[in-house]
Amino acid sequence: MEVVVYRYGHRIARDKRITTHVALVARAFGADGIVIDTKDEKIEEGIKKVNERFGGDFFIESGVAWRKYFEKWDGKIVHLTMYGERINDVIEEIKKNDKLLVIVGSEKVPGDFYRIADYNVAIGNQPHSEVAALAIFMHFLNNGAWLNKKFDGIMEIIPCRRGKKIKYNYIKMLRQAGCSEAVIKHCIRVARLAVEIAKAIEKNRGKVDIAAVEAGAMLHDIGRAKTHGIMHIIEGGEKARNNELPKKIVDIIEHHGGAGIDEEEAKKLGLPPKDYSPRTIEEKIVAHADNLTGNGYRSVKELAIAWEKKIGKEAALKLLKLHDELSKLAGIDIDEIARKLKN
């Protein structure tokens, strides 16, 4: 069944929050979209952002006058009002339709609504709220099926007793950001090596957040959707922040450049001045896995020679130092791990 919610009486100054909540409830409880009478770009943007992160193809349109819209509507119209018929008495009949427009008001609605509506429906005959009325109506309408609706977004919340558990779809995130397939392939390769390094360190009794390593490695080049220059580390950090990824992941992205970019080098490169060297074990693993990964995996020696020629001795020494540090922590030469993945 196609369900569109019409929000009447939206006042930009007063109703920003409640109309947003009407839209969020419409989306979460299974409606296909919302139409709002008053033009409000901020609310449109906010809901589109929710779609970007949590998925689905819920639409939002604002600045649509009610009379014409209702006249053109070729399905049934349900008006939610405390003066209407009891939901229990009419819901089975309403369910038989295949296209519904569900109207909710804010303050008093025009008297015409009661005449135009095919059903005036009350969610109890006490005054309460458009948000509650819409939620309960939708729940009755789809028999609670909204609870199992899959939105297929870049992030999915995993129910858990305490804390927050979120599953990210990294490839979708990279694609949505506009990364090329070559960049995505590279990120997958870096993540494979980074996770193997992390596992080796953990096996050798080191403490490392493998999930953060995987996330950081998969997303380290997300900024390449905007630029392939060194600014991609800043662009990537910003994109990750906008997607409300944990700080740990943002930091991995911003600190993955080479074997470490200190404040002096950052200034020379035109980056906002700060130290971008990898500090945590997770940052170091991702930065180094990235170093050893091009289109395939390369040995640190091979790379150090190339870096010395191209960037200078200092950079090559930094690279070798990072390699040694991680190899010691892993109890195995990182080249060995990369070699195994190569074969």
187, 193, 199, 204 alpha-carbon torsion, rounded to 10°: -140
CB closer to ligand SAM out of 119 and 170: 119
Task: Say whether residue 123 binds ligand SAM (CB under 6 A).
Answer: yes
| DSSP state at residue 223 | G
- 109 near ligand SAM (CB under 6 A): yes
Q: Which of 104, 183, 200, 215 binds ligand SAM (CB under 6 A)?
A: 104
Q: Is 124 in the site for ligand SAM (CB under 6 A)?
A: yes
- At closest approach, how far in Å is the CB of 87 from ligand SAM? 8
Contact with ligand SAM (CB under 6 A) among 6, 36, 105, 260: 105
Tokens of 178: 């506009």
Residue 133 as a binder of ligand SAM (CB under 6 A): the answer is yes
Residue 81 within binding range of ligand SAM, rule CB under 6 A: yes
- Work out which of 19, 38, 62, 106 binds ligand SAM, going by CB under 6 A: 106
Residue number with CB closer to ligand SAM (122 or 259)? 122
Does residue 26 bind ligand SAM (CB under 6 A)? Answer: no
- Residue 146, exposed/middle/buried by CB under 10 A (0-12, 13-18, 19+)? middle
Point out which residues pair with 2 in neighbouring strands.
99
> How many Å apart are CA 124 and CA 85, to the nearest integer?
9
58 close to 90: Cβ distance less than 8 angstroms: no
- CB of 149: closest distance to ligand SAM in angstroms? 23
Contacts with ligand SAM: how many residues (CB under 6 A)? 17
Answer for the pair 214, 189: CB distance below 8 angstroms, yes or no: no
User: What minimum distance in Å lies between the beta carbon of 120 and ligand SAM?
Assistant: 9
The Cβ-side half-sphere exposure at 313, using a 13 Å CA radius, reads: 0
Establish if 14 lies at the interface with ligand SAM (CB under 6 A): no
List the one residue from 68, 96, 108, 268 that touches ligand SAM (CB under 6 A): 108
Q: Does 110 bind ligand SAM (CB under 6 A)?
A: no
CA distance 189 to 171: 12
Going by the DSSP 8-state scheme, the letter that residue 298 receives in this structure is: -
Window 233 to 292, contacts with ligand SAM (CB under 6 A): none
| C-alpha to C-alpha distance for 99 and 3, rounded to whole angstroms | 6
Tell whether residue 82 is a contact of ligand SAM (CB under 6 A). yes
How far apart are the C-alpha atoms of 59 and 34, rounded to whole Å? 6
Q: Which window, 34-42, 104-112, 171-179, 204-212, contacts ligand SAM (CB under 6 A)?
A: 104-112
Asked if 122 touches ligand SAM (CB under 6 A), the answer is yes
Segment holding 36, helix H or strand E: strand 33-36
If we measure between CA atoms, which residue out of 242, 308, 255 comes closest to residue 281?
255
Residue in 244, 281, 214 with CA at minimum distance from that of residue 154:
244
* CA triple 135-140-146, angle to 5 deg: 65
* Candidate residues 111, 127, 159, 163; the one interacting with ligand SAM per rule CB under 6 A: 127
Task: Say whether residue 25 binds ligand SAM (CB under 6 A).
Answer: no
Looking at residues 51 to 80 of the shown chain, list those that interact with ligand SAM (rule: CB under 6 A). 80
Among 41, 67, 86, 129, binds ligand SAM (CB under 6 A): 129
Strand partners, 47: none
* Smallest separation, CB 63 to ligand SAM (Å): 20
List interacting residues with ligand SAM (CB under 6 A): 80-82, 104-106, 108-109, 122-124, 126-130, 133
